[in-house]
Amino acid sequence: MAKAVKNPLKNLRAYRESLGENQTQFWSRFLVTQSGGSRYESGRGLPAPIAMLVLAYAEGLVDDKLLGKLAARVVKR
């Protein structure tokens, strides 16, 4: 489970690094590529659905297991 932080969206890179993860590890749980995550960490527009998932993850409302189940359903479509 992710540790709760005040607002990970203010500094996505710092949040990711606080988890001890590289970009691929962190962003893949949200079905985002490493290059996409790099763009978001550089300040380019983070889509609202991804922002909501990151916040839910940071608050402990969703975990890797649930995100994995959701991702499997999305990819399966």
Instruction: Pick 75 or 54 by higher pLDDT.
Output: 54
The pLDDT of residue 4 is 61
Please state the separation of Cα 23 from the chain's center in Å. 10
Q: Is the pTM of this model over 0.85?
A: yes
* Pick from 2-6, 32-36, 44-48, 63-67: least confident: 2-6
The pLDDT of residue 75 is 87
State how far the alpha carbon of 13 is from the alpha carbons of 8, 9, 19, 77, in Å: 9, 9, 10, 31
Whether pLDDT at 36 is above 60: yes
Whether pLDDT at 77 is above 80: no
